Amino acid sequence: MTEGKTTWKFSSTFWSANIIELFERAAYYGCFIFLTVYLTNRIGFTDKETGVITGVFSFLLYLMPTFTGTLADRIGFRKALCAAFLLLAFGYALLGLVPAKLTAVIALLFIISGAAIVKPVVSGTVAKCSDELNRARAFSLFYWAVNIGAFAGKSVVDPIRQAFAGAGDSGLLAALKTLIGNPTGLGWELQFVNLYSSCMALTAFLLTFFFYREVAPAAGTAGAPKKTVRELARGMAKAVTNWRFACLIVITGFFWAIQGQLYATMPKYLFRMVGLASKPGWVANVNPFVVVLCVIPITHMVRNSRSVNSIAVSFLIIPFSAFAVTLAPLLGTQEVSLGFTTMNPVILMMMIGIAFQGLAECFLSPKYLEFASKQAPPGETGLYMGYAHLNSAFGWLFGFILSGILLDKWCPDPAKLPPDLTEAARAAVYAHAHYIWYVFTGIGILGFLLLMVFRAVTDAIDRKQAQGRLLK
C-alpha cells in the first residue's frame, strides 16, 4: 500500500481477500436467488412462512457480524475465515441433501454463522489494507469483486436448474431422483443448486487456507495488545451511541428493503406471472452487471463528495427500480419487440428496474462502507464493519416479511388456487400483482425524505459547532 498519494495498487492480502469473497458470493447468491422458491415449492412452507423465515435469516445474517467482527479481531482473520467456509460448505450441502422443514432451518443457521464471519473479516481486510486517502477506491474494488461473484453464481444456477428439470428419468438422474424420493414439480432440481453452492464454499476454504495471510496491524496500532472483553463491550456501546451512524443505518435500511426484493419477490413473481421458462438468475444478473460496469467510475466521480450526498443520489434512483415493474401492464401481454429480440413485458420492465437498482447501489455502498470504516477507533475495524451491515439486517427483515404478505395478497402460490378455476378467473387473481411494486416505490420515497431530514439536521448542527469554534 502506498501512503500519501492516490493509487490502485494494494497488497497481496487485499487481492486474495477479494478473490475469496468472489467465490463466497458465487456460493451465496447461487443459493439465495432461489431460496424463497425452494422453501415454498420443495420444502413446503407457505409464502408468508417463507417471508418470515428468509426475513429472520437475512436479519441474523447481517446482525451477527456485529459480534463475529469482534471475534475475528481477537482470534485472527485467517482462522475466522477458515472456520466460516467450513460452516458454509456444510450448511449448503445439508440444505440440498435433506429437504425437510426442520433440517432446512438448521442448515440456514449454519449458513448464517459462516456468512456472518466472512462479512466483517473481508471488509475489515479491505479497510486495513488501505489508508484513508485510498479507502473509497479500495471499497470500490471490493464491491466490484462482490458483484463479479454474484454475477457468476447467478449465471450458473439457471442452467443447473433447467438441466435437471428437463432431463429424462433414466440413468444417473433416475437414481438421484429415487434417492431423494422421486420428487415432481418446481423445486426439486434446486437441491443441486445448493450442492453447487457447497462446492463454491469449499473452494473458498481452500483458497483461504493456502493463500490468505493474516492482516498486518493498521498504521499506528502495531504492537497494541488485544482488547479485553470489557473493552470490546465498551467499543460496541460506543458504536451504538454514535447517533449519526445509527441514524444512517436505519435510513439506508429502507434502500435494502427494496433491493432485497431481487431475492424475496422477483423469482416467485416471474414464475407465477411469466412461467417456469423464465430465468430469474439471469434477470437478477442485470444488477451485478451494472455494478461491475459502473461502480469504479461512479466511485471516482463522487470521490470528493460527502458520503451523505452520494447516498442521497442512490435514494433518488431506487424508487424507480420498483416503479418500473408497475408499468408492465401498460405494455400488454404480448412479447415486446426490441429489434434484435422479443421479450415478455414483465421481464423487460423487471430488467429495467433492476438496472436502476444496480446504478443506485454504485452511489450507496462504497461511500457508505467508507463512512462506516472512518467511525472505527484503532483496533476495532472488524467491529465497526460488522455494524455497517445492520442496515441490511433491518431492511431485509422488513422487506422479506412484507414480500410474503404482498405475494399472498396479490400474487398467490398457484398451488393454493382451486384446481377447477377457469382461465379468466385465474387471470383475475393476478390482475393486481403489480401493486406489490407500488408499495416498494413508496418505501423508497419515504427513505429519501428521511435522509433529507437527516442531512438538514446534521448540517445545522455542524454549522452551529463551527460558529462556536470561531467565537472561542
Reported confidence tier of residue 218, pLDDT bands at 50, 70, 90: very low
Are 361 and 259 in contact, with CB atoms under 8 Å apart?
yes
Q: What is the mean pLDDT of the chain?
A: 85
Closest among 432, 423, 234, 221 to 325, alpha carbons compared: 432
Which residues does residue 342 pair with via DSSP β-bridges, in sequence order?
337
Proportion of the chain in helix, strand, coil states, percent, rounded to 5: 75, 0, 20
Closest among 145, 139, 111 to 28, alpha carbons compared: 111
Query: Among 2-6, 127-131, 148-152, 272-276, where is mean pLDDT lowest?
Result: 2-6
Reported confidence tier of residue 357, pLDDT bands at 50, 70, 90: very high
Task: Give the pLDDT score at 49.
Answer: 97
Reported confidence tier of residue 168, pLDDT bands at 50, 70, 90: low
Task: Give the pLDDT score at 291.
Answer: 84
CA 356, CA 287: separation in Å to the nearest integer?
8
CATH topology of domain 12-214+230-412+425-471: Growth Hormone; Chain: A; (1.20.1250)
Average pLDDT over residues 389-413: 93
Residue 169: is its pLDDT beyond 60?
A: no
Q: Which position has the higher pLDDT, 36 or 470?
A: 36
C-alpha cell recorded at residue 248: 444512517
Q: Which position has the higher pLDDT, 21 or 178?
A: 21
Are 248 and 454 in contact, with CB atoms under 8 Å apart?
yes
Residue 131: is its pLDDT beyond 80?
A: no
Q: Which position has the higher pLDDT, 227 or 246?
A: 246
Task: Give the pLDDT score at 217.
Answer: 52
Residue 445: is its pLDDT beyond 70?
A: yes
Task: Give the pLDDT score at 2.
Answer: 46
pTM reported for the whole predicted model? 0.85
